[in-house]
């Protein structure tokens, strides 16, 4: 067990003082709406003519405009980071840790306003937004602990010579986080790199750039020197390829789609003129996650857990369940239970500001993609709950359950990234495992069962990075469920762990002959 570490506690919004503080934060957000935000390059604010418009998915309201970075400024950001690395890499670990500790204090102080901006910009409810902030704090505190361990170096066997292995930072990194966790994943990516002595250039999602700006601004206030963390929002087509291919880029940390992740991996493998190293890529790319329900399972519990896995944050998590694989003798009863759960969630759909169970999907493109899959589902199976959608005021889609889906159906194989659940019938546990593994992904999975033999079988034969039993497949907690997937789900970099930090470090073996 890890000693001396405690996960951050989420706020209880049934407590009146917490609720009032959140409402005051929304009032502050309302005052800030419509502002413009610059790039942050080497500590300098840079405004550009081209802007990224941040839209609230719940209302389609313009939240603000953020300067969009081009290649020339992206090059400047990387070169500033390269210069900053020359000094930051020599700063003692405890001094770097002090900056992270101040950041923890600042984020806790600004907790409600950060939560409110996450609600507005990404469409989360209050609990989801605060849970994300807690995850960021957990990342920071775990990385503080692991950095101290790594600073001691690697233990070696006794020798007549003076020998040791020391970890050294490697250089400039590029962090490309997704829109669905705009605070915690950006925070984890950036701080994991800089606490180990590297510098990082952050290119946030164009859907959630304001939350990212607020975070980078807090990093400055925490005392990170100019150039250690830069903020360069911009489209992938404008600067994405450029910053990945830049000869001074040492590593790329990406979370997003498989298509973009594979493109980054391919580009990073190509050596640019003037490049002196093999670039490292840390990638988390998605999933087509399955939950198995066998004949011995508690069906009400299974339905509740699967509904949570499939529909929380509108299914917009790479860990979300999109396939329920159910034994034939309990199939019909399970379908009734999961349909009832979905129908209940429909009653709780609305703006994240209203703190309901379900909110909007992130943008128009996501809305059109997900609703396109719902229309495919009508042809491939039978919709027993949900299936309706409306983008009149915001991008709202009902939690949708589709039964009678075959294993080769499109909605059983393609990542939808929305509140759509395919329910597949099987005749045996072996068949269930076969179908669960019949995907190019391997991120999360779960099994609802009271059969110990099935649990043991799944532990070795269900091939995913995060496997659960008798609980939902989402909600990984730092240092309780280290997160990362197999196959096309990514490089299995378990976030929050000591191993994760070694992606940004070289290991130098040092030996001195003391007889000389």
- Is 284 among the residues known to form the active site? yes
Q: Stretch 442-447: mean pLDDT, rounded?
A: 98
Q: What is the pLDDT of residue 427?
A: 98
User: Does 5 reside within a domain?
Assistant: no
Residue ranges making up the domain that contains 446: 289-482
Q: How far is CA 168 from CA 35, 440, 450, in A?
A: 41, 35, 48
pLDDT tens by residue, 373-423: 999 999 999 999 999 999 999 999 999 999 999 999 999 999 999 999 999
More confident residue, 158 or 414: 414
Q: Please pick, among 284, 380, 398, 415, the residue that the annotation labels catalytic.
A: 284
What CA–CA distance (Å, rounded) separates 88 from 196? 10
Considering its fold, how many domains does the chain have in total? 2
The answer on 347 and 382 residing in a single domain is yes
User: Does 93 reside within a domain?
Assistant: yes
Q: What is the pLDDT of residue 159?
A: 81
Q: What is the pLDDT of residue 480?
A: 93
- Is 343 among the residues known to form the active site? no
DSSP-derived secondary structure letter, 447: E
This model's pTM is above 0.85? yes
The answer on 38 and 117 residing in a single domain is yes
The answer on 317 and 215 residing in a single domain is no
Q: Stretch 452-473: mean pLDDT, rounded?
A: 98
By DSSP bridging, strand 51-55 and strand 62-67 are antiparallel
Q: Please pick, among 99, 134, 219, 318, the residue that the annotation labels catalytic.
A: 318
pLDDT tens by residue, 3-61: 779 999 999 999 999 999 999 999 999 999 999 999 999 999 999 999 999 999 999 99
What CA–CA distance (Å, rounded) separates 399 from 170? 45
User: Does 395 reside within a domain?
Assistant: yes
Question: HSE-up of 421 (CA within 13 Å, CB side)?
Answer: 33
Q: Residue 516 above 90 pLDDT?
A: no
Q: What is the pLDDT of residue 303?
A: 99
pLDDT tens by residue, 109-120: 999 999 999 999
Q: Residue 69 above 70 pLDDT?
A: yes
29-40 in b/e form (b: 16+ CB < 10 A) is beebeeeebebb
Which CATH number covers residue 158?
3.40.605.10
Q: Residue 1 above 70 pLDDT?
A: no
């Amino acid at each position: 067990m890890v000693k001396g570490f405690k996960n951050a506690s989420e706020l209880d919004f049934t407590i009146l003082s917490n609720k009032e503080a959140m409402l005051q934060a929304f009032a502050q957000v309302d005052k800030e709406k419509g502002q413009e935000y610059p790039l942050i390059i080497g500590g300098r604010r840079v405004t550009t003519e081209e802007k990224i418009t941040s839209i609230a998915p719940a209302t389609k309201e313009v939240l603000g405009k953020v300067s969009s970075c081009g290649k020339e400024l992206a090059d400047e950001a990387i070169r500033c980071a390269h210069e900053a690395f020359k000094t930051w890499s020599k700063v003692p670990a405890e001094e770097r840790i002090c900056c992270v500790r101040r950041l923890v204090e600042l984020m806790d102080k600004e907790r409600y306003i950060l939560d409110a901006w996450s609600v507005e910009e990404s469409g989360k409810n209050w609990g989801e937004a605060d849970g994300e902030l807690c995850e960021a704090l957990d990342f920071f505190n775990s990385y503080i602990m692991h950095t101290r361990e790594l600073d001691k170096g690697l233990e070696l066997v006794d020798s007549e010579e003076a020998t040791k292995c020391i970890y050294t930072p490697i250089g400039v990194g590029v962090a490309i986080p997704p829109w669905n966790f705009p605070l915690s994943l950006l925070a984890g990516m950036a701080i994991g790199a800089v606490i180990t002595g590297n510098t990082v250039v952050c290119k946030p999602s164009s859907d959630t750039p304001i939350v990212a700006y607020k975070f980078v601004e807090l990093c400055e206030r925490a005392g990170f020197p100019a150039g250690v963390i830069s903020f360069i929002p911009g489209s992938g087509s404008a600067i994405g390829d450029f910053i990945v291919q830049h000869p001074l880029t040492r590593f790329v940390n990406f979370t997003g789609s498989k298509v973009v992740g594979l493109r980054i991996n391919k580009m990073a493998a190509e050596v640019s003129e003037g490049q002196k190293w093999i670039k490292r890529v840390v990638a988390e790319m998605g999933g087509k996650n399955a939950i198995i329900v066998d004949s011995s399972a508690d069906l009400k519990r299974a339905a509740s857990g699967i509904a949570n896995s499939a529909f929380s944050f509108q299914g917009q998590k790479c860990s979300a369940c999109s396939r329920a694989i159910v034994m034939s003798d309990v199939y019909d009863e399970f379908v009734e239970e999961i349909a009832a759960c979905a129908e209940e969630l429909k009653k709780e759909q609305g703006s994240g500001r209203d703190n309901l169970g379900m909110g909007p999907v992130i943008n128009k493109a996501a809305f059109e993609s997900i609703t396109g899959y719902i229309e495919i589902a009508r042809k491939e199976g039978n919709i027993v709950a949900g299936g309706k959608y409306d983008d009149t005021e915001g991008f709202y889609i009902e939690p949708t359950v589709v039964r009678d889906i075959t294993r080769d159906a499109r909605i059983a194989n393609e990542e939808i990234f929305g509140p759509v659940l395919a329910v597949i019938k099987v005749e045996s546990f072996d068949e269930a495992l076969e179908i669960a593994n019949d995907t190019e992904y391997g991120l999360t999975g779960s099994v609802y069962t009271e059969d110990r033999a099935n649990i043991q079988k799944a532990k070795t034969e269900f091939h995913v990075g995060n496997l659960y039993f008798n609980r939902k497949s989402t909600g990984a907690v730092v240092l309780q469920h280290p997160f990362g997937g197999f196959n096309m789900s990514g490089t299995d970099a378990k976030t929050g762990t000591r191993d994760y930090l070694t992606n940004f470090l070289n290991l130098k073996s040092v030996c001195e002959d003391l007889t000389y």
